[in-house]
A and B are shown apart, each in its own frame.
Chain A
Amino acid sequence: MRESTASPLRKRKSWARWTIHLFPIPALILYGMFVLYPILAALSYSFFEWKGMARGNFIGFKNFVTLFTTEPYGSLFWNAFKHNVLYFILQMIVMNGLAFFLAFIIYQKIKGAEFFKAAFFLPRLLSVIVVGFLWKLILNPNFGTLNVILEKLGLETLQKAWLGDPKTALIAIILVNCWFGLGFGVLIFLAGFQGIPSELVEAAKLDGAKGFTLLRTIYLPLMVPSIMIMGILTFIQSFEAFELVYAMQGSMGEPYYSTDTLAVFFYRLAFGSSTASGATAIGLGSALATVLFLFILICTTLFLRFANKKDVQM
């Protein structure tokens, strides 16, 4: 009996074994073509001279040299870089710090936890472009509600043209981004808290730990993985920041480049209208993309490696 079925079965099996290798192909083609290829191509573009959208000669590192040493590019780069760093730091402290605290509160089983979770999360569903415009209206110096609220509270001295003042514009944008992303952080941290084995907490409490000690000795070390995840996501997102700035302050990072970020600068170089020398824009843009890409990749990798070591120690 075995003899009679063996041969067709085996045939079908080898056919099946062969066709299975077709399964990942569609995903690989799409992903390769529209994610991997463009990034690698952008890296290679940075070594060529560009005339508009046409590629010229291989010129080595000249685009990079121009980007860093020729004005206004050099100072614009560092100006934007500084803003990205501030973007990251403020989001880590304000957004993730608050999200951590809120998650901790919800973890204490407060009433209406589901409502609060949903309320914090709702902004995340808006398009970043909607968020930008909405807040632009709220922050408007003449009819925006923020200044009206400040007036009603008797805080007229705090009234400001938030987005018109180079001193406050970037901070305003970053805080809007915090508003947008807060709920996501709360959910991530909450999942982290809920993943902590309750025996550990109970044991520590029996040992007399409470309040700050409990937080420092039990919660914080066990929350390291969630903190790392939020840290990496925030880092990548901070150094990619584009839409919100573009929606609120346009492609020039107004006022006076005070809200410029590397991605906005990049957009200006690659597609913007008024660069000093339009002919080299794509080369310079690609050089900037390469620098930013390598920076993000290296930092993220180091961060992950550091995170893994921490995990092992625990």
Chain B
Amino acid sequence: MKQSAIWVRPLYYLVVFTVATISLYPILLMILSSFKKSVDIYKDPLGLPTSFSLDTYRTLLSKIPFTTYFMNSMFVSILSVVLIVVVCSLASFYIARFKFSWNHALFFIFLLGMMIPIKLGIVPLFILMRDLGLINSLWSLVLMNTATGIPLSMLILTGFFKTMPYELEEAARIDGAGNLKILWHVVLPLMRPALGTVVIINFIAAWNDFFFPLIFITEKMKRTIPVGMMSLFGEHSADWGSLFAGLTLASLPMILLFFIASKQFMEGLTAGAIK
């Protein structure tokens, strides 16, 4: 391989270091500032915290029902992910493993969802949710996350299903196993990587969703973390320490998960687009 000019490599490192700093600095600032007192943030915004105090967190938790928001977000995210995995496994198994004349059309209809800006349907959705009695119910969010997560999940699962050999499945079929049994005992265990991707993508999306809870949830105790954070800005806009603590708390679960499984996260979020 031909070597490039001597100044090229250092330039590369300079660029990636600069951009990495810009990427990480605000997040670091957010976390560090959350340990500061508001006075110190005003006096010396760039300085490190002089003493690690958890005061801001204590103030914050006394002012907003963070535990409730956290449990609401957990409820919505976990349930949405479970529902997506169940319904998409069934549907993609059907599309990828059986040859019916309408499979192509069905797949296309599902994929269309990736191009549909669903926010534009929010008025009919609001009326629908109202008629279903789901306004101010976390189920409205579960249903929305599930429905909007279907297209990309279908793409990933169907793509993965198609690459799998038929032999195992046929062996099970000869042994007399039904479709559901084959899917559950034979196919899904082999699908773990793809399922992991689907779980991660949809968990991030559900956890961070802001638009649907903004519209469907007005009751304070039913809020999820992102909307709860927004109310924080209105109520405590002068207390920067609490604001940073709130932002940190809202982001920490995802950041911690990312540290545990960064590779899966990055592969997961891009898998759909590259396939």
Contact = CB atoms under 8 A, between A and B. Distances in A.
Interface in A1-40: 12, 16, 19-21, 23-24, 26-28, 30-31, 33-39
Contacts of A183: 23, 266
A30 B85 CA distance: 13
B26 A135 contact: yes
A221 B255 CA distance: 36
B12 A110 contact: yes
Contacts of B124: 37-38, 41-42, 45
A41 B29 CA distance: 45
Interface in B105-122: 106, 109-110, 113, 115-122
A203 to B, nearest CB: 13
A130 B34 CA distance: 14
Contact of B229 (A27, A110, A133, A192): A133
B136 to A, nearest CB: 15
Nearest to B21: A119
Most interface-central of A98, A105, A130, A149 (chain B CB within 10 A):
A130
B260 interface: no
Interface string B122-163: 111111101000000000000110111011001000000000
B19 interface: yes
Contacts, number: 253
Given A211-B4, A236-B115, 10 more contacts: A23-B91, A35-B113, A98-B19, A105-B15, A105-B16, A119-B24, A120-B19, A123-B27, A143-B41, A187-B269
Interface of B: 1-2, 4, 9, 12-13, 15-16, 19-20, 22-24, 26-27, 29-30, 41-42, 45-46, 83, 86-88, 90-91, 93-95, 98, 106, 109-110, 113, 115-128, 130, 143-144, 146-148, 150-151, 154, 176, 178-180, 204, 207-211, 215, 225-227, 229-230, 233, 240, 243-244, 247, 250-251, 254-255, 258, 262, 265-266, 269-270, 273-274
Report the 7 A-B pairs with minimum CB-CB distance, sorted nearest first.
Answer: A38-B121, A34-B147, A41-B124, A127-B208, A289-B120, A27-B91, A24-B91
